[in-house]
Amino acid sequence: MAHVVTEPCIGCRNTACVEVCPAECFHIDEQSLWIDPEECIDCKACVPECPVDAIFLDVDVPEKWTHFIKLNEEKAEALPLIFERKEPLS
């Protein structure tokens, strides 16, 4: 299992989650963050940090966003890691 970033992150990209992650899971693009499922240890530290409730355990992802499970895997593989907080988009 792993945690998954979903739709509400797009255009927000708060990045508070990045600072609490002990496993360096987060990758970034211009609009959103993505979690590498190979690295996530399901500690849940990032979940309460997200102001838009975008992060779910994969088995708990709302049905309308289940395609984000695969998207996180693909995006994390292709995009750079982020280790420090950045200015949110909104």
Contacts with ligand SF4, residue ranges (CB under 6 A) = 3, 20-21, 23, 25, 35, 40-46
In the complex, least distance from residue 77 CB atom to ligand SF4, rounded to whole angstroms: 15
Q: Cα–Cα distance between 7 and 36 in angstroms, integer?
A: 16
Q: Cα–Cα distance between 44 and 55 in angstroms, integer?
A: 9
Pick 3 or 75: Cβ nearer ligand SF4: 3
Q: Fill in the DSSP letter of residue 87.
A: -
Which tokens hold the place of 49?
């940090």
Which tokens hold the place of 62?
């709302």
In the complex, least distance from residue 6 CB atom to ligand SF4, rounded to whole angstroms: 13
In the complex, least distance from residue 31 CB atom to ligand SF4, rounded to whole angstroms: 18
